[in-house]
Structure 1
Amino acid sequence: MEHQYSDRIVRLLQLYLLGDITEEERQELEDWCEEAPRNRKLFEQICQEDLFSKERYVYEKINDTKAFSVFEKRVRKVSSRSIGNWWKYAAVLLFPILVVGSWKLMHETEQVSIVASSVAPIQPGCSQAVLVLDDGRKVFLKEEEEGVISEDKEITVTGEKDRLVYTSSEGKNVDEIRFNELEVPRGGEYKVRLADGTLVYLNSATRMKYPVKFDEKERKVYLSGEAYFEVAKDPERPFFVEMEGVEVRVYGTSFNVNTHQEGNIQTVLVKGSIGVKVLSSGMESVIRPGQMAEFKQGNTKVDVKDVNVAVYTDWKDGIFRFENQRLEDILAVLSNWYDMNVFYQTVSVKELHFSGYMERYKDVSVILEAITLSTGVTFSIQGKTIIVSK
């Protein structure tokens, strides 16, 4: 029974989410949900308000008849697969399938499976980092790292599972500003709670330099890579994040900064208020929640625009969320997280655009097969290298 439902159910889910479902189709979908607990679970997962409502405007622009026609052709070519395999990809595929009509380029594919070498599979990232203490010593941090790492009269540094915690002595007087650096490699992520109580989520390929204890005037850290900040409120001491050519000023708020794209720095505000200043010109722009300030090297000011903040912040909650992004940019994100390299046999596929929602901790082959099913791009894995072609 489930074999004959696979493509039909995807269609019913599409109609339901777009609000175009008839009463008969709604009942058919409800009957399917009642057949098995996993059916109901999947239905509830993809209908979560915080998942779908933010992307609804994208779906409403879709030529869904054309999109589903393309999908049907591909499903028939893999119909010999078990329903277990179909289910394996469902959570990843449903959103890419629904938006396939908005991608710039579509090709049919005769092969869905990913060709891989016999080398150990590419693994998703995990909690890991290197702490560089002020005396130059390095401490390699892994998940479940617990216990006191460093201690003196001013500060105690403790490992607590997936994060570092700095506990400061009373008072804001500092005898001498001392810095630590936290380096997160490709294939890693880590958190740190600074001495003032600010919590920072560090993404893959990120480095942050910061005082072990802030002085009484200001709180400033230096960042390269991507991080999400939940800044502790302290009206008397503004918090600064300095990157190459840009400084973010904040008193107490949540925001994401990203310097991974060469020559481009993005700052996205979730709540509160921040100022983004171009250091070369001194020009500062104040942005509101739901906005992004983007700085391109060589400019004298930042560009401010409204964005869907979830696209830029869901990584910290274990989610990849892409919104009409180029395949090259998507694979750049994946390469940092999975610590892999990407080689393009067909350069034109870099310009494919993709919108989707995927779990960050899935096997990379599941994500790649989702893209293959929806765009016709093929991937092969050779060791730690992904080869991309039509």
Structure 2
Amino acid sequence: MSEENFKIADIIFAYIKGTITESELEELTEWMNAAEDHRKLFQQIITSESYRDKDAVYRRFDSYYDFDRLWGTIRTRKRSMWKYVAAAAVIVLPLLVTFLLQMKQEGISSGKIALQPGKSLATLTLSDGSSKVLSPENFDLMDGSKRIVNDPGGLNYQVEDTSTCAETTYNEITVPRGGEYKVTLSDGTRIWVNSESYIRFPVVFQGDERRIWVAGEVFLEVAKDAERPFIVNTEKLDVKVLGTRFNVRAYPDEKCVQTTLVEGCVQVDNSRGEVAVLHPSEQLVYDVRDGNHEVREVDTELYVSWKDGVYVFVSQRLEDIMSLISKWYDVDVFYQNSAVKDMMFSGRLKRYENAEALLKVLERLGGVKFSVQGKTVVVEDE
């Protein structure tokens, strides 16, 4: 492994941990834009749970590759050296990142553990396929003739004259675990993108509708436009609005998709072609297993307060609470007794505080204990 690749791997680890510096962000962006394989590898590392489990990586590696033979071939076949080096980099970089992650976790576990909250982190993919790592730094860039401004308030698409936009082009934003980001689209719609989430959207909206694609969790304040409805596509549901404030939670690993309306009115179409209309303080819950949905009245603060920096829990299952903590604090959760998953708790957690404060409160309420081992929270009953 070259010294350069060791350095890139360490920078990727810093990105995962949320400790990456501005100069490292620039270097990481240059490396991703140097080759399509680099960008794909980076996305794979930050979004795949397998790369956070060293044993899983070793098993995959041993199943498909003979490392000693590969490097022996590189040494003996100089003419095709770069081809093999590239192949080795694709294999070794995720392995190296996982190894570094494991080493740093082991170093941390010997002292006081602090479950640090997430930060403003994301990856922007432009219409030409190039990528840039986002953080609360000031910069401007162009995607074709469209200006994109980034500052501590998030990403802002500034298009003064849409008449020059003959072709619809798309951007994508991917937020890793332990990250979040804010985006203002070209029509003025504001989107809060939560941890482990993805959005795809036109740089400039064309035609008679405004359509975006979402996975994970987002909160939207949709700019009013009576002539062009705004449509949020998830894998299972379409949410159609004119101007409103609402939350969509559609994580692939969860059993339900939720749409929670704060203000305005939305129409929700499911994969069966069934339609439901929501009014303020109503939530549609779609069961991905049987395709059924129900509409219920809820306290919207419980579902949208995350975008204002607070988690509020009222008689909520412990498994659901720990799922939120897992995504935002970038930790895994292990239950020594699965029965504790259904215990009900209430509480309040400031999103940017150490999670241990909430865990101690839950312990004081009784019936459950927590311990932190590296990047894993172990849950057991008393």
Partner secondary structure for residue 226 of structure 2: coil
The answer as to whether partners of 1:124 and 1:187 remain within 8 angstroms in 2 is yes
Corresponding position of 1:152: 144
Corresponding position of 1:331: 322
Query: 2:242 matched to 1:284?
Result: no
Letter of the 1:327 partner, please give it. Answer: L
2:124 maps to which of 122, 131, 135: 131
Q: CA deviation at 1:168?
A: 1.1
The answer as to whether partners of 2:156 and 2:185 remain within 8 angstroms in 1 is yes
Judged with a 3 Å threshold, the aligned counterparts in structure 2 of structure 1 residues 120 and 370 are, in CA distance, closer, same or farther, namely closer
Q: CA deviation at 1:294?
A: 1.1
The answer as to whether partners of 1:234 and 1:252 remain within 8 angstroms in 2 is yes
Partner secondary structure for residue 320 of structure 2: helix
Gap runs ≥5 in structure 1: 1-115
> Which whole-Å CA distance do the structure 2 matches of 1:321 and 1:195 have between them?
32
Judged with a 3 Å threshold, the aligned counterparts in structure 2 of structure 1 residues 140 and 187 are, in CA distance, closer, same or farther, namely same
Letter of the 2:328 partner, please give it. Answer: W
Judged with a 3 Å threshold, the aligned counterparts in structure 2 of structure 1 residues 172 and 319 are, in CA distance, closer, same or farther, namely farther
Query: 2:166 matched to 1:166?
Result: no
> Which whole-Å CA distance do the structure 2 matches of 1:172 and 1:330 have between them?
47
> Which whole-Å CA distance do the structure 2 matches of 1:120 and 1:325 have between them?
26
> Which whole-Å CA distance do the structure 2 matches of 1:299 and 1:230 have between them?
30
Corresponding position of 2:134: 141
Judged with a 3 Å threshold, the aligned counterparts in structure 2 of structure 1 residues 300 and 336 are, in CA distance, closer, same or farther, namely closer
Letter of the 2:154 partner, please give it. Answer: R
Corresponding position of 2:254: 262
> Which whole-Å CA distance do the structure 2 matches of 1:172 and 1:384 have between them?
50
Q: Relative contact order, CA 8 A, sep 6+: which one is greater?
A: 1
Corresponding position of 2:106: none
Corresponding position of 2:372: 381
Higher helix share: 2
> Which whole-Å CA distance do the structure 2 matches of 1:209 and 1:119 have between them?
40
> Which whole-Å CA distance do the structure 2 matches of 1:307 and 1:290 have between them?
6
Partner secondary structure for residue 281 of structure 1: coil
Judged with a 3 Å threshold, the aligned counterparts in structure 2 of structure 1 residues 363 and 196 are, in CA distance, closer, same or farther, namely same
The answer as to whether partners of 1:127 and 1:162 remain within 8 angstroms in 2 is no
Query: 2:327 matched to 1:340?
Result: no
The answer as to whether partners of 1:270 and 1:290 remain within 8 angstroms in 2 is yes
Q: Determine which structure has more spread, i.e. the larger CA radius of gyration.
A: 1
> Which whole-Å CA distance do the structure 2 matches of 1:376 and 1:299 have between them?
33
Letter of the 1:243 partner, please give it. Answer: T
Gap runs ≥5 in structure 2: 1-108
Report runs of 4+ in structure 1 exceeding 3 Å deviation: 171-174, 298-301
> Which whole-Å CA distance do the structure 2 matches of 1:176 and 1:375 have between them?
59
Judged with a 3 Å threshold, the aligned counterparts in structure 2 of structure 1 residues 302 and 346 are, in CA distance, closer, same or farther, namely closer
Structure 2 length-normalised TM: 0.69
> Which whole-Å CA distance do the structure 2 matches of 1:380 and 1:299 have between them?
36
The answer as to whether partners of 1:172 and 1:215 remain within 8 angstroms in 2 is no
> Which whole-Å CA distance do the structure 1 matches of 2:238 and 2:304 have between them?
20
Judged with a 3 Å threshold, the aligned counterparts in structure 2 of structure 1 residues 376 and 299 are, in CA distance, closer, same or farther, namely closer
How does 1:104-253 map onto structure 2 within 5 Å?
117-118=110-111, 121-143=114-136, 145-153=137-145, 155-171=146-162, 174-253=165-244
The answer as to whether partners of 1:129 and 1:142 remain within 8 angstroms in 2 is yes
Q: CA deviation at 1:118?
A: 2.1
What RMSD, in angstroms, separates the aligned Cα atoms of the two structures? 1.7
Q: How many pairs are equivalent?
A: 273
Structure 1 length-normalised TM: 0.67
Letter of the 1:128 partner, please give it. Answer: L
Q: CA deviation at 1:147?
A: 1.6
Corresponding position of 2:36: none
2:298 maps to which of 290, 295, 307: 307
